[in-house]
Each structure stands twice: as C-alpha cells, then as structure tokens.
Structure 1
Amino acid sequence: MSAATVGEIRARMILDMSAWSRSRDRVRNDMTQMGRSSENLSKQMGLVQKASLAVGGAVVAGIGASVKTAADFEAAMSNVKAISGATGDEFEALKNIAAKMGAETKFTAVEAAEGLQYLAMAGFSVEDQIGSLPAVLNLASASNESLGRSADIVSNIMTGFGIKAEDSGHAVDVLVKTMTTANTDLGQLGERNCPAAWEQAA
C-alpha cells in the first residue's frame, strides 16, 4: 500500500512535471511570437510614419507650388491690367480666357497671361486680345517659340499689315504654312528683312 502510494505519487509528479514543461514551452513560444509581432508592429508603424511624413511633405510642397503659381498668375494679370487699362468685367474676361487657355492647352495660365501682355502692348483692345489669344497659342505650339514671343511677332505682323484681330486665326494659319513650306522659323518671319514672308502673312 505504501509502495503503491509512493509509485502513484511519483507517477503523478512525472506527469505534472511533463505538463509543466509543456506549459513552459508554450508560454516561451507565445512570448517569442509576441516579441516578433511587436517587432513587426513596430516596423509597420515606422513605415506608416515614414509614409505619412512623405505624403505630408508632398502635400505641403504641392500647396506651396499652388500658392506660388497663383501669385505668379495674379502678377502677370496685373501687368495685363496696367497695359490694357482693363477694369471690372473686361479684366475678369481677360483673367477667364487666360485661366481657360491654361487649363485646355499645354501652356500655363501664367504663360497665357504673358501672351495677353504682348497683345495689349501691340494696342489690341480687350475684345481683340480675347479673340486672338487661342490663335497665338496655336502659333506658339507649332513654332516651338515662347507664347510671349509668338504673340509679339504675330501682333506686329497683323498691325503692320492692317490685319484685323478677328482674322488672327487666318494670319496664324498662313504663318504656320509659310514656316513648313519655306524652311524658315517664326523668328525669321518676324524680321523686317523677310518682306516676302510678311506679304504671305498678310
């Protein structure tokens, strides 16, 4: 009886030790997994933080660029206003056409405003500036000249030959055709030592 009791106790102790060992291994494994999860979570949080900073930086940079673009546009339109004398509804119409061309063509609204400046300097009325700007944009695109220079050249040609603003599209078509068929460029067409080209433009 006594020996059986001791055997039973010993067997129970062995079973208990085995169970404790398994529990200890489970706890150790759980702690290891927890540590790995914590490490992964830390890495993931670090990546999220970096991504947030990058996005935040991009947003801030984008806002900064937008503010500068808006300021440049306002400055360019102020020049147009000063040169053309446009006020009220006329000035709003000029701003609208510049913004529209900036949205619909490869040129920016600031560049479109610069085109309006040259047309205003050539003596074009507000209505004529608005009517001529799309044609000037087409000319600049076809000639690879800046929008301002294209506006300067075509307005000089039109003024010199008495071509009306409503005919600016035709004048631009003739200039583009001349460039492509006479092996010349817009700058050369704009020079006064190219009378034949000027006659063709008229």
Structure 2
Amino acid sequence: MKTIVVLAATASVSSALGPLAPSVSARDMMPKKLGARWYTGYQTAYPNGAKDMPDAPPESTSATLGDHEPALFNFWKQIHEQSDVYEVALARPLGIVFEEIAPLGAAPAGVKVIEVSEGSNAEKAGCVAVGDVLVGVTGVRYPGSAYLGAAKPERDIFPAHEMNFDQVVEAIGSNEPPECDDVILRLRRAA
C-alpha cells in the first residue's frame, strides 16, 4: 500500500490520466491562452463548471466547448447527483495524507484521506476529514499539437476512484502555476 503526504506534487500528467491525456507535461510549455474548457467548480456555469449542464454531451463541432469526451461529461453529471459527495478547492500545499485503497488481491480503487495536517490548507477549509474517499480530482492536460504551438491547457475533473495512487498524485501535481492556483477535489464522506 502506498501512502504519501501531498504537499507540493509536480509531475507529468501524461501517465496519470491514461488515454485521456497526451504525453505533454505542463512544465514543457508556457501557454499564452487557456483551452476551451477549464473546470472551476460545480457551482460555476457549464462549460467551466457543471452547474446547468445539458442532458447530453454537446456536439464536438462547438468552437466554444471543444471536443468534450462523453465519459468525462457523464462523470461530471454522475458525481453531482450524489448527496454524500462534496467539492473543495484547495491551494497547494494541500496538507492531506492519502493512502491507496487496494482491497486484498484487487486492483487499486483510488485513495482515501488518512490524515489532515494541522494548520494546512485542507484543515482551514474545514470540510476534509480522515476516511473521506477521493472521487474526483482536477487535472490539466494539453490537447493538440505542442510543437506547432497550438496546444492550450484544459482542466477537467477526472474520476479519481478509477486511478491508482501515482495517477492521483500526478493529476494533483498538474494543477500548477501559472494556470492554476488551486486543486479541486471531489470527496465522498466517510461512512
């Protein structure tokens, strides 16, 4: 089982988000503009958040929304219909110690909070508790062609409960300046 204190993680987002992300690191580029989508939280109107989302993914020809993957669109809808799930935006360092959830002999099933550091950004938020399970985490990726200068960073919220420990850490680390000043986490309250 892996355990880590997520204080200031930096990593390539390519392996963290699997086939959803290209193999371009956030540190490889200094973007001039943000991409078509930038997740800023549930209470923000769609496409930047999830409030007032349409019932189905938008047409991929939309110049304002870009190509929105149906799997991510459906994940956004799903997590916002659950009453035991909450969202929090935290500046880094988070001050959360995560541990991988790996049932005996099974594949990893995300991470859970095993400690909230005293005086940390997570403690100051007042909602993150030991035992909470990470359901979603924002990650920044660069769709498009980096070498042509066309790649612009996009931030989506990804299903953390389908990620292993290293992927979660890389996704958290991809939320870095100059584009990001926070990491958005969706957590399921401990039973």
Normalised to the residue count of structure 2, the TM-score between the two structures is 0.21
Greater share of residues in helix: 1
**Structure number with larger C-alpha Rg:** 1
Greater share of residues in strand: 2
Normalised to the residue count of structure 1, the TM-score between the two structures is 0.20
